[in-house]
């Protein structure tokens, strides 16, 4: 059983395996993204119900643009449909939603909807859901480095003032705590440029389950395994 007193403060999920899930069923790859979006919503609500405070999900990476154009277009459509649905359901369910990544590349309509749902849900207590879109961990660190360099060029920041704590506040969100647990279904065992800075001391949980088959019980198992581990953070 999950110990509610020892929940991870911040969980990251790499939602992987949508395309393979569809191909195994003789379906076009985008059908997997549609199914994955429904699972995402189920897991988000379940995470809120069990008391998680911060959940970050990898929805679309900076490298995903290299996929076939038709698949990228379908993914963008799924994302827009998800946001349309979320404007109703997430407001009703009182889940705070934010987007991290370089959002400047998205269309005016999609961008407007993203800004609207962020504004509508910004004061909701409980779960904060960060959706990583056009996100890359390396890009986020470069973004922070450029911000530090700009401040230094204006005489507002001294090199000796740059610490892990101060640099961390220059990332996309200055209140996005370190990740305690990273979950990756689909059988792959790598970070894939996800939350590189925040995952410095994260615990990892891998599974062969493809994301559209991921269930609340799988999140339970990941958290139970996490709670069995001895986190030393470089100490003894």
Please state, in angstroms and rounded to a whole number, the distance separating the CA atoms of residues 11 and 183: 8
Q: Pick the closest to residue 195 from 141, 114, 128, 232 (CA basis).
A: 141
Q: Tokens at residue 13, please?
A: 């999920």
More confident residue, 133 or 175: 133
Is 64 tagged catalytic? yes
- State the average pLDDT over residues 155-168: 93
Q: Quick one: which H or E segment has residue 128?
A: strand 128-135
Catalytic one among 16, 54, 130, 134?
16
What is the pTM (predicted TM-score) of this model?
Answer: 0.92
Which among 47, 109, 53, 55 has a CA at the least distance from the CA of 77? 109
Cα–Cα distance, 208 to 61 (Å, whole number):
21
Strand order of the β-sheet with 181-184 is 96-100, 128-135, 54-61, 10-14, 181-184, 203-206
Give pLDDT tens digits for 39-51. Answer: 999 999 999 999 9
Strand 203-206 to strand 181-184: parallel, antiparallel, or no bridges (unpaired)?
A: parallel
**pLDDT at 177 exceeding the cut of 90:** no
The first and second tokens of residue 233, run together, are 């953070």
Say whether pLDDT at 149 is over 80: yes
Q: Give SS3 for 96.
A: strand
pLDDT tens digits for 100-125? 999 988 878 888 989 998 998 999 98
18 is a catalytic site residue: no
Question: From the candidates 3, 18, 64, 180, which is the catalytic residue?
Answer: 64
- Residue-range domains of the chain with CATH: 15-227 (3.40.1180.10)
How high is the pLDDT of residue 236? 61
Strand partners, 204: 182
In this predicted structure, what is the pLDDT of residue 48?
A: 94
């Amino acid at each position: 059983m999950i110990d509610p007193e020892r929940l991870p403060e911040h969980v990251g999920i790499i939602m992987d395996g949508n395309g393979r899930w569809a191909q195994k069923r003789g379906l076009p790859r985008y059908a997997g993204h549609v199914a994955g979006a429904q699972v995402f919503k189920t897991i988000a609500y379940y995470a809120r119900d069990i008391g998680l405070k911060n959940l970050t999900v990898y929805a679309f990476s900076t490298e995903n643009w290299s996929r076939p154009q038709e698949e990228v277009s379908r993914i963008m459509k799924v994302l827009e449909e998800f946001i349309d649905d979320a404007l109703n359901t997430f407001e009703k369910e009182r889940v705070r939603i934010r987007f991290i990544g370089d959002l400047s590349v998205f269309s005016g309509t999609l961008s407007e909807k993203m800004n609207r749902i962020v504004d509508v849900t910004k004061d909701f207590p409980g779960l904060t859901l960060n959706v990583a879109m056009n996100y890359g961990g390396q890009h986020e660190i470069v973004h922070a480095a450029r911000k530090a360099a700009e401040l230094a060029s204006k005489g507002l920041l001294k090199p000796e003032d740059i610490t892990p704590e101060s640099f961390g506040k220059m990332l996309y969100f200055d209140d996005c705590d370190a990740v305690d647990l990273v979950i990756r279904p689909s059988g792959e065992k790598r970070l894939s440029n996800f939350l590189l800075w925040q995952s410095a001391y994260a615990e990892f949980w891998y599974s062969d389950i493809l994301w559209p088959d991921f269930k609340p019980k799988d999140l339970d198992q990941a958290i139970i395994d996490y709670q069995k581990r001895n986190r030393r953070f470089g100490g003894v």
